[in-house]
Chains A and B, each alone.
Chain A
Amino acid sequence: MNERIQELITVYLHRGSTPAQERELFEACKNDPEVAEHLRQHLILSLKLRRLRDDITVEDTLHAAVSRRISRLAEKDAAVPSAVEAPRATGTAHATGIANAAGIADAAAPPRRYGLRHVFGSAVATAAAALLLFLFLPDGGNTPPAQRAEMRPAADTVLVVQRDTVLQVREVERPVYIVRTERVNESDQTAGDGGYAASADNAAGADAAGQTGTPPADQPSELIDAPLPQSTAPDTPALTDRSRHDSAGDDVEGVYPSETDQTEQHSAAATTDRSQLYADAGDPTQQARAEKARNYLEQYNAMLVSVESVQLTREDRVTY
């Protein structure tokens, strides 16, 4: 059987043959019985295969399964609202008209899928804002809240003054007791107090711990026993120990109120001391005059320093 006859049989059986090819095949069958037999066997095979196909039946359960799935799908599609049609751009109408005229079907628009794009967008914006905040915060925002509170400027400043010299400048955040040291008479002086007595009042200085305005009974003796600093230089180590500010009566010797009248009182006491210090030197009259002039100058300087530096509130100031 040559290939040409095989091809003619194939195209004949599968609806591909032209009238010329069919005529050629029938002529071959008429002339050659072998070709006719071959064609017959092909036809029988096709017949049997068709019968084989028709023997297959679809079970009812399979029909029911397909029907169920299709119904579920239809319900699901009906529940989804149709996508909002995007506005057509200018000139699209013209293109649509051409497409309609040419019989070109409009392509089905793909379903819009926004996904989580907007969620990711806001997440990125939030992350960027957080990063900026983190970068621009002092020390990266790692400072605990308690430390941040300490970083605030001190609420007040107190000068520690001996005579007219500022010995210490201290920052206070809590109410403090301001104690005036003064020279007392020998008769009033208690034994062994070194010539000093301290009076302390605190009209509005009661702190949160419930301390009263008057320091505890043992504090005056501590104040009296504590030696006055002789150097004019500020006592830096003592100043930097901030923990000592917490107790109401600690380390308050030599803390003077900044009021002018108080300064005058202090100067009067200082004058007495100086007269004793210079008792052995030169003419007492000249010395007294020079001392008086110096006292005025010191009073003036002390007053300036007090006005500039002491910023206690009215309630915190000591009333004498």
Chain B
Amino acid sequence: MTERERRERFNELYTLYDRRVFAYCVYVTSDRDIAHDVYQEVFVKAFQAMHTLKDPEKQAHWLFRIARNECLNAMKARQRSEKRSVDIDHVYDQLQHEILPEQHDEIAHLRRAIAQLPQDYREALLLAEFEGFSLKEIANMTGASLSNVKVRIHRAKLKLHAILEPILNDYE
């Protein structure tokens, strides 16, 4: 792969997935500052490892696997340092400007509900619902068994349903 090919493929990947990767990082880490750092690292590592991407059809899987690893590393580092406290409300305040006023209550409620999920449930749910990965792909990405992934997603949804019952029932 020449340098030019590498750059072209990276640009294509970046255009397709920049928002999705950032959203994933924000919701998995529940910290916008950490998400900023992780987002940069994900694309830098993707650029460095571009020659290892053999099958372009699996580039989403490949990229989100990098993103997942980087998010886990960042969260472990945060736990080690314990200098940062996960303040979900602070994250929501940062995201205020991105939300329309009429959607504010519902989306804020949804974000809060996601943040309350255990990390492995949240991760499986986001990969499935945000990115539309199949159960097999998620199992491959997370290293969990297929049945375990099913269980995680199912339990995550049950919890969300319990939290979001009023919204879901009022949905027209």
* Contact yes or no, B161 A41, CB < 8 A: yes
* Contact yes or no, B134 A16, CB < 8 A: yes
Known: A52-B107, A58-B22. A11 touches B48 (CB 8 A): no
Known: A56-B19, A56-B26. A49 touches B161 (CB 8 A): no
Partner of B128, one of A14, A41, A65: A14
* Contact yes or no, A74 B168, CB < 8 A: no
* Contact yes or no, A10 B47, CB < 8 A: no
Q: How far does the alpha carbon of A48 sit from the alpha carbon of B14 in the complex, in Å?
A: 25
Whether B36 sits at the interface, judged by CB under 8 Å, is: yes
Known: A45-B168, A73-B47. A15 touches B132 (CB 8 A): yes
Q: How far does the alpha carbon of A45 sit from the alpha carbon of B158 in the complex, in Å?
A: 11
Whether A57 sits at the interface, judged by CB under 8 Å, is: yes
Whether B52 sits at the interface, judged by CB under 8 Å, is: yes
Stretch at the interface among B38-46, B57-65, B68-76, B79-87: B38-46
Q: How far does the alpha carbon of A70 sit from the alpha carbon of B98 in the complex, in Å?
A: 27
Closest beta carbon of chain B to A120's beta carbon, Å: 29
Q: How far does the alpha carbon of A85 sit from the alpha carbon of B44 in the complex, in Å?
A: 26
Known: A56-B26, A74-B3. A105 touches B54 (CB 8 A): yes
Q: How far does the alpha carbon of A41 sit from the alpha carbon of B158 in the complex, in Å?
A: 10
* Contact yes or no, B43 A66, CB < 8 A: yes
Q: How far does the alpha carbon of A16 sit from the alpha carbon of B119 in the complex, in Å?
A: 23
Interface residues on A, range: 35 or more
Whether B136 sits at the interface, judged by CB under 8 Å, is: yes
* Contact yes or no, A10 B135, CB < 8 A: yes
* Contact yes or no, B135 A16, CB < 8 A: yes
Query: Can you offer 23 A-B residue contacts whose CB atoms are under 8 A?
Result: A7-B150, A7-B154, A10-B154, A14-B153, A16-B134, A44-B168, A44-B171, A45-B157, A45-B161, A48-B110, A49-B125, A49-B129, A50-B129, A50-B130, A52-B114, A58-B39, A66-B43, A69-B43, A70-B10, A70-B43, A73-B47, A73-B48, A77-B3
B residues sitting closer than 8 Å to A (CB atoms) are: 3, 7, 10, 14, 18-20, 22-23, 26-27, 36, 39-40, 43-44, 47-48, 51-52, 54, 95, 98-99, 103, 106-107, 110-111, 114, 125-126, 128-130, 132-136, 150, 153-154, 157, 160-161, 164, 167-168, 171
3 shortest interchain CB distances as A-B pairs: A56-B23, A49-B129, A53-B130
